[in-house]
Structure 1
Amino acid sequence: MRGSGRTFFGHPWGLATLFGTEMWERFSWYGLRAILYTFMVASPVRQGLGLSPETAQAVVGVYGALIYLVALPGGWVADRILGARRSVFWGGFVIMLGHISMAIPVTTPAFVWLGLLLIIAGTGLLKPNISVMVGRLYSEDEDGRRDAGFSLFYLGINLGAFFAPIVVGWLATGDRWHLGFSAAAVGMALGLIQYVWGRRALRGVGERPGLRLSPAERRRFGRLAGLAAAVVVVALALWAASGTLTVDRLTIAITVVILVVPVVYFSYIMMGGHDLSQEERDRMKAYIWLFVAAAIFWMIYDLAPSKLLAFAADHTDLSLFGIRIQPATTQSFNPLLIMIFVPVFAALWVKLGTRVSTPQKFGFALVMVGLSFVVMAVAAGLAESGRVSVWWLVLVYAIQVFGELSLSPVGLSVTTKLAPEAFKAQMLGVWFIAVSVGDAVGGQTGRLGAVLSEPAYYLVLALMAIVAGLALFMFARRLRVLMAEHYHAEALPSSIR
């Protein structure tokens, strides 16, 4: 679908609108993420929350986990109630309110928790639906242009992710946390302005829900949503009244709930009466292996804004090419390396073709992320006698990016390929549940610090990932048979999520 006579690098002008909106939304998300952990562990004297490192890591993990978990209901709301276009607008508006709430310089943490909840809810509406709108800018016979359009779109994601930690980290210097949060709010506001300003170029894309709820279904949904919200509020109120509710325990409870979600979902698919063929059952068995592998990968990979950020702040000499940088700036290494290596890996997978199977790619990713933490263990050991060079973190992020570019681009593709016919649409969101599980569990691994030294902590997680990766290599042939994988997997552009 062409937005107008104007084009954006040869693409519909509507792509420019969505490119800018997503770039600024990712600026706000990665900007906040780059200082959230350090803000939470900073003492109240330094205007922080004064949480323990273990609790702060758990909060950051659960926050990231919920961001990906709410993509499922967010997509449903767009399909059945609001439509993609309004979902993106209201999602961005709620995200902006969340950042504004966090930017209010008051001593009570209530505005911080409210802000995080608003950002989670808003991202659930915006994130899954803006990608859908990118795809709908093109007609069904424009596969090549659509893929190229998504490549440009993902460039916007990485640009926002690269600049955000630098800008927000600099503004937050000297314990000016709320000024950093303000920059994230401004970023989302700029994205909304561009979205509204360029809405005509979208030419009706995402304007209506795909399958709008009937009035009776709306009433039923309203009652169920209200009941669910009431149950959660009452449960939290009773827990608080008991005097045992703490932030730390709440993160554990949320992690348990997130872990239950995929168990229940896969049990429902495999044991429910859905008339699955034997081939569909075999493919789902293979997919569960890949799901667990992906969760282990994200468990380590998404420790960047907590554990690795803390290492940057406490144990590294923050000097890069003779220039002093902020701890938050180290969060820009990942998107920069992704932009550098995406073309390399895309060409590599095309050249290798079907000689490398999906299980082998996942296995390689796990080994890479495991090796990155072997490097971290060495760096942590050296840091016991003084600060180490920030180049250790550059090396760690480079190894991890090699892993991500082996796993992330094929994740959604293999999910749609292996999904039973009756669950094709639903399974698109399952990939994000793997990220959610990994983030939640990763957040809880900080508790290992009570019984393990810093180097041992990294080695334990490294061993887990490497063993899982080697297991995938060992069973790759069997998994490939279950998957009936005899196709050429296209090397899709990688998103930084």
Structure 2
Amino acid sequence: MNKHDKDAILKTIPQKGFFGHPKGLSTLFFTEFWERFSYYGMRAILLFYMYYEVSDGGLGIDQTTANSIMAIYGSLVYMSGIIGGWIADRILGTARTVFHGGVLIMIGHIILALPFGAPGLFTSMFFIIIGTGLLKPNVGGMVGDLYSMKDPRRDSGFSIYYMGINMGAFIAPYIVGTLGEGVSFHLGFGVAAIGMAIGLIVFVVTRNKFLGLAGTIVPNPLTKPEKSRMIKIILVVLIVLGIIGWLGITGGWLTVERVIFSISILGIIIPTAYFIFMYRSPKTTKVEKSRLLAYIPLFVAAMVFWAIAEQQSSILATFANERTNLNFMGFELKASWFQSLNPLFIILFAPLFAGLWTKLGDKQPSVSQKFSGGLVFAGLAFIVMMLPAYLNGGAGTLVSPLWLVLCFFLIVMGELLISPVGLSASTKLAPAAFAAQMMSLWNLSNSSAQAINAQVVRFYTPETEIAYFGIIGGVAIVLGILLFIFSPKLKEFMQGLN
């Protein structure tokens, strides 16, 4: 998409009407509000649904395997953003891709709401993985379309958008989690499906009036020869995967553990190939190549951060259910409720960060300096989690829920320095020919982190938790310090962007 196209799009978007921001921000704000409600509501109870005994309404999967499945599921959700970004850039445009993604997500939640057991679980995962890949990166890309590259409201707009989607994530565990743990897991999943349906309605009803031409242009459409070649490639891939799957299942060698390991390897290979492809593309200019090089250490930093943050739904959820005293000050807590802490803290503190960046203007820290601070906070969150076992006599004891509250708080402080800033940086540093795919690449930082987590979480037990939290937290802090030291050099590679 060239500058003329971007200018033409901006003229069709009402530039005021939502807290001083473009009116289209409200459409994307509430679409993601409901999509995140459905996703995080489902995620708050999914781990428990997998490893609870069948007599308790679960599937009875081994707890360590369930943690690995959660990590791989999260990895594939973000990995599928490659498909969504490519489809938006080359076939449908971001707006149509977002709509189709929402439909698939809703179907996935409906399947999970029905008593189909393990087959239903994995079928629903397929729909939600593909649907989220279509929707999530492209909604973020459309937020970028609402602003010019030099608009000082840009970072603030992403922070407001980020706060909005976390409002949905905040209320979801209380509603879906309470129904899932207290009544029926399938009832909770059904409520998640309703949430996604509401999000689709909001998007369809308001997009023409508030978003104008945002998301309607296909920036790098397929030529006829490319379409023909792509159809052949897709057919060959599907046939090969079908044969491998059939042989693996009938032969007994395609186990869950081997699938998880294979996806863990892909989590490293795919983003590496992505960087090489964009850097070597003739459509990427010299300035854009320099900015891509600056983006690599940011990607690695984000990957390390998400490796810690995404354990909120696996290791920290297990810790909440197995190691935490849920009877607190006369109240009986539910383990799923802890999943609301992250979005709650974001709702409380995102406006402060957005206001701070607006007030500082050109004097605010660089992107890499913000990222370094985010890594240090994440590392401290895991260092904190060493203390309960040390102070309470090790494994087998129930600890105060306040330890988890402090851990989640520190992670959120890091997240506000990395996630909305990373979204904004991805739209600014993206080569013009790969605008939507750059958002997919940003989401791959999370995918890669969770792919690695699928192997890392296997080392966690109540007996090893001191070493587990200490090593991971220490690595994050050291990398954060190194990133801060090299921040001035990275700023040079960004070629005038901060």
Same fold (TM over 0.5): yes
What is the DSSP-based 3-state SS (H/G/I as helix, E as strand, rest coil) of the residue aligned with 1:384? Answer: coil
Secondary structure, counterpart of 1:409 in structure 2: helix
Aligned: 1:143 with 2:151: yes
CA distance in 2, matches of 1:205, 1:285: 28
Distance 1:454 1:229, change over 3 A: same
Q: How far is the alpha carbon of 1:393 from its aligned partner?
A: 0.9
Q: In 1, Cα distance between the equivalents of 2:215 and 2:278?
A: 30
Report the Cα distance in structure 2 between the residues aligned to 1:425 and 1:245, rounded to whole angstroms: 34
TM-fit CA distance, 1:428: 3.9
Q: What does residue 43 of structure 1 align with? A: 53
Deviation at 1:413, TM superposition (A): 4.1
Match of 1:60 among 67, 70, 74: 70
Question: CA offsets, 1:249-276, max 9 Å, x none?
Answer: 2111111112111233344566x58598
The Cα shift of 1:235 comes to 1.8
- Secondary structure, aligned partner of 2:252: coil
Shift in Å, 1:25: 0.8
Q: Are the structure 2 counterparts of residues 82 and 473 from structure 1 closer, same or farther at C-alpha, using a change threshold of 3 Å?
A: closer
Query: Could you say which residue in structure 2 is the equivalent of 1:69?
Result: 79
1:308 maps to which of 316, 326, 331: 316
Assess, with a 3 A threshold, how the Cα gap between structure 1 residues 72 and 170 changes in structure 2: closer, same or farther.
same
SS of residue matched to 1:180: helix
The residue type equivalent to 1:368 in the other structure is F
- Could you tell me which of 95, 103, 121 is aligned with 1:112? 121
Output the amino acid matched with 2:254.
L
- CA deviations on 1:104-127 (whole Å, 9 max, x unpaired) are 113x31111010110011111222
1:223, CA displacement in angstroms? 1.9
Alignment of 1:163-312 (within 5 A): 163-174=171-182, 176-202=184-210, 203=212, 205-207=214-216, 209-268=218-277, 272=280, 284-312=292-320
Structure 2 equivalent of residue 102 of structure 1:
112
TM-aligned CA distance change 1:58 to 1:393, over 3 Å: same
The aligned counterpart of 2:414 is 403
CA distance in 1 between counterparts of 2:489 and 2:155 reads: 31
Deviates more, 1:54-63 or 1:143-152: 143-152
Residues 170, 326 of structure 1: 8 Å contact kept: yes
Kept in 2: contact 1:61–1:443 (CA 8 A)? yes
Alpha-carbon separation, structure 2, partners of 1:469 and 1:342: 21
SS at match of 1:370: helix
User: Which range is displaced more, 24-33 or 150-159?
Assistant: 150-159
**Which secondary structure state, in structure 2, belongs to the residue aligned with residue 316 of structure 1?**
coil
Encode CA deviations 1:18-74: one digit per residue, 9 max, x unaligned.
333221111001101111111111122222222222211211111111222222221
What is residue 323 of structure 1 aligned with on the other side? 331
Q: Which runs of 5+ in 1 are unaligned?
A: 490-497
Amino acid at match of 1:93: V
Shift of 1:210: 4.2
Cα distance, 1:97 vs structure 2:
0.5
> Could you tell me which of 427, 447, 453 is aligned with 1:442?
453
User: Counterpart amino acid of 1:75?
Assistant: G
Structure-2 change in CA distance of 1:213 and 1:278 (3 Å): closer
Partner of 1:27: 37
What do the CA deviations read for 1:231-250 (whole angstroms, capped 9, x no partner)?
22222222223212222221
Is contact 1:319-1:390 (8 Å) kept?
Answer: no
1:384 aligns with 2:392: no
Structure 2 CA distance for partners of 1:140 and 1:127, relative to 1, 3 Å: same
The CA distance in 1 between the partners of 2:135 and 2:258, in whole Å, is 29
Q: Look up the SS of the partner of 1:65 in the other structure.
A: helix
1:80 equivalent to 2:122? Answer no
Q: Taking structure 1 as reference, are residues 282 and 145 closer, same or farther at Cα in structure 2, changes over 3 Å only?
A: closer
Q: TM-score, normalised by structure 2?
A: 0.86
Provide the rounded CA distance (Å) in 2 between the counterparts of 1:486 and 1:142.
11
1:161 aligns with 2:172: no
Tell me which amino acid in the other structure corresponds to 1:343: P
Contact 2:267 2:452 in 1 (8 A): no
Going from structure 1 to structure 2, the CA distance change for 1:279 and 1:437 (only over 3 Å counts) comes to: same
SS in 2 for 1:431: helix
Matched letter for residue 377 of structure 1 = M
Match of 1:494 in 2: none
Residue 361 of structure 1 and its aligned partner are, at CA, apart by 2.7
Whichever residue aligns with residue 419 of structure 2, its letter is S
Computed over aligned residues only, the root mean square deviation of the Cα atoms, in angstroms, reads 3.3
Q: Give the distance between the partners of 2:468 and 2:419, measured in 1 at CA.
A: 25
How far off is 1:455 after superposition? Answer: 1.8
User: What's the offset of the Cα at 1:305?
Assistant: 0.5
Partner AA of 2:48 in structure 1: T
> CA 1:129–1:286 in structure 2 vs 1: closer, same or farther (change >3 Å)?
closer
Partner Cα distance (1:6, 1:466) in 2: 41
Percent pairwise identity = 42
The whole-number CA distance in structure 1 between the counterparts of 2:304 and 2:83 is 24
- The reply to whether residue 131 of structure 1 matches residue 140 of structure 2 is yes
Q: Measure, in 2, the Cα distance between the counterparts of 1:299 and 1:4.
A: 38
Q: 1:363 aligns with which of 372, 375, 379?
A: 372
Return 349-358 or 173-182, whichever deviates more.
349-358
Contact 2:170 2:343 in 1 (8 A): yes
Where do 5+ consecutive residues of structure 2 fail to align?
1-10
1:300–1:147: structure 2 CA closer, same or farther, 3 Å change rule? closer
SS of residue in 1 equivalent to 2:61:
coil
CA contact (8 A) 1:57 1:444 kept: no
SS of 1:332's equivalent?
Answer: helix
Is the alpha carbon distance of 1:470 and 1:80 closer, same or farther for their aligned partners in structure 2, counting shifts above 3 Å?
Answer: closer
Distance 1:411 1:170, change over 3 A: same
Alpha-carbon offset, residue 277 of structure 1: 8.6
With over 3 angstroms needed to count, the CA separation of the structure-2 counterparts of 1:324 and 1:419, relative to structure 1, is: same
